[in-house]
């Protein structure tokens, strides 16, 4: 038998939920360990969010050099070449730097890091095995456990991910060379983000989407339309209602068979990227054996404190349900650690903001228009303000998109904010704060925003929602609307 150790808190998984939970628990004086089988920082930091944003930043920089620099009068005398191996190496250095930071934070806060595969042997103990353990391993007993083991890509019949022919996002972020032709199965945010940057690096990209639209039901439809137009303009081909069936080797390429409008069609490509969603890793770690309750989709059932049906076992992040976003996992990590530490905490957020790093970016907080009626909001104020009317956006040569604000016409309380345009990933936090605080549209409109900045578009969208935008021409409000201070018009 291997060694045995005892802790107050044992966190399984060191992703953006797990490592945060471990650090906060240690800060609160709890003897804490975190078990990790692969990467400190998890999928997000090592093969997901961070490296993909690095590649997106590089491709955006390349696009600006090729297309915007000459118009600005900056002349590049020689051809711009992409050294893919060096680019991937730089991308990896970004992830390595962040992972090293996580390691230092865990160490600095006194968290014990244990490498290996964890499995519950009872509700109060886990066994941790690493490749060199043989028959032994380490037994961990703890008063509290936090399950933060995340998710993995979904596979579909006919397509098994091998990271050679059929890639997940992990394989797509580690390519030694840009594929000449790429077929992307799935028009969700991961597929579109990777499609966008590979197209800029030189790939011919075809997206097969089984549904009738991209990012269906995930973000505001008008925001998606802006991205769809930019994809089309950039040469990315999107095929809707196209269901991938199988693939086979065809010479030096691969032939993908798919069904579209009842007909079987075929496409040749050099690589296949499968991005049809992710599934929770709840079939691992021996969770069923100890009786942890799950729903029909495999997510662990949790209460408002993120407790499972076993009250000393908590679950956070992707494995605990939608939205499967890193920042939601981190929020839950702090929450759970503080609950274990005796603090009065519960998960009661009004919104989890979401960002899609396409070109242009999409960001969203709060309700979609389609969701408002179901929540009892039937009389809305809705308006948009375009980035084309913003001086900073014009100077950046990035004028596609807008900020849309949805508010309750009776109270003027902000219900949802949806953005598409330059750097909206950095603008959405203001909207999230407004929604969490129960702010009214006037709170945004009357807050002085610095000039010239992209953030002014949020203020001007609020003014447009109230019917008195300065930098776009609006239809005048009726006298009755003016006296009520509300705008029913859409701009």
In 3D space, the residue among 471, 328, 486 whose CA is nearest the CA of residue 390 turns out to be: 471
Q: Are 156 and 185 in contact (CB under 8 A)?
A: yes
* 8 A C-beta contact, residue 207 and residue 184: yes
For 59, 195, 463, the CA distances from 388, given in Å and listed in that order, are 23, 25, 16
CA angle 338, 344, 345 (to 5 degrees): 65
Which tokens hold the place of 369?
């228009």
Cα(195)–Cα(188) distance, integer angstroms: 11
Nearest to 211 by CA among 238, 172, 190: 238
Please give the angle made by the CA atoms of 359, 364 and 368, to the nearest 5 degrees: 120
Query: Which has the closest alpha carbon to 21: 104, 96, 109?
Result: 109
Which residues are CB-contacts of 473 (< 8 A; sequence separation ≥ 6)? none
Helix (H, G, I), strand (E, B) or coil at 454: coil
Q: Which tokens go with 318?
A: 């992707």
Handedness of CA 14, 15, 21, 25 (dihedral sign): positive
Burial class (CB in 10 A: 0-12, 13-18, 19+), 181: middle
- Kind of pairing, strands 32-36 and 4-12? parallel
Q: Are 332 and 317 in contact (CB under 8 A)?
A: yes
| 194 vs 375: CA distance, rounded Å | 35
428, 356 contact by CB (below 8 A): no
| Active site residues per annotation | 451
């Amino acid at each position: 038998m291997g060694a045995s150790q005892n802790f107050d808190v044992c966190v399984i998984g060191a992703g953006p939920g797990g490592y945060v939970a471990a650090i906060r628990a240690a800060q609160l004086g709890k003897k804490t360990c975190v078990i990790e089988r692969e990467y400190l920082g998890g999928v997000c930091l090592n093969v997901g969010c961070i490296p993909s944003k690095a590649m997106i930043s590089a491709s955006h920089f390349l696009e600006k050099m090729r297309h915007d620099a000459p118009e600005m009068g900056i002349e590049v005398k020689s051809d711009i070449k992409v050294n893919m191996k060096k680019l991937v190496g730089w991308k990896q250095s970004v992830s390595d730097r962040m992972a090293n930071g996580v390691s230092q934070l865990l160490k600095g806060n006194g968290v014990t890091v244990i490498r290996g595969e964890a499995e519950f042997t009872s509700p109060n103990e886990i066994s941790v095995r690493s490749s060199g353990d043989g028959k032994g391993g380490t037994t961990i007993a703890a008063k509290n456990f936090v399950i933060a083991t995340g998710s993995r890509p979904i596979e579909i019949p006919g397509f098994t991910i091998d990271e050679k022919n059929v890639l997940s996002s992990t394989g797509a972020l580690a390519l030694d060379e840009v594929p000449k032709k790429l077929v992307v199965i799935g028009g969700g945010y991961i597929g579109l983000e990777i499609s966008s940057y590979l197209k800029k690096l030189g790939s011919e990209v075809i997206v097969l989407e089984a549904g009738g639209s991209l990012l269906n039901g995930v973000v505001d439809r008008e925001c998606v339309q802006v991205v769809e137009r930019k994809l089309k303009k950039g040469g990315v081909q999107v095929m809707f209602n196209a269901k991938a069936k199988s693939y086979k080797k065809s010479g030096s390429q691969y032939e993908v068979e798919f069904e579209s409008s009842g007909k079987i069609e075929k496409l040749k490509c050099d690589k296949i990227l499968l991005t049809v969603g992710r599934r929770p890793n709840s079939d691992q770690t021996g969770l069923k054996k100890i009786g942890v309750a799950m729903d029909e989709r495999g997510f662990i059932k949790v209460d408002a404190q993120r407790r499972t049906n076993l009250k000393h076992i908590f679950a956070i992040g992707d494995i605990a349900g939608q939205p499967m976003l890193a920042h939601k996992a981190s929020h839950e990590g702090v929450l759970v650690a503080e609950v274990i530490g005796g603090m009065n905490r519960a998960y009661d957020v009004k919104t989890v903001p979401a960002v899609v790093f396409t070109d242009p970016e999409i960001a969203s907080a709060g309700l979609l228009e389609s969701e408002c009626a179901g929540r009892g909001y039937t009389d809305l104020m809705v308006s948009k303000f375009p980035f084309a009317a913003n001086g900073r956006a014009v100077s950046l040569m990035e004028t596609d998109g807008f900020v849309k604000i949805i508010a309750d016409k009776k109270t003027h309380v902000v219900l949802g904010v949806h953005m598409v345009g330059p750097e909206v990933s950095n603008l959405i936090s203001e909207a999230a704060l407004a929604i969490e605080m129960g702010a009214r549209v006037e709170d945004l409109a009357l807050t002085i925003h610095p000039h010239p900045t992209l953030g002014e578009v949020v203020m001007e969208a609020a003014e447009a929602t109230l019917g008195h935008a300065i930098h776009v021409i609006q239809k005048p409000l009726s006298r009755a609307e003016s006296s009520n201070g509300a705008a029913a018009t859409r701009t």
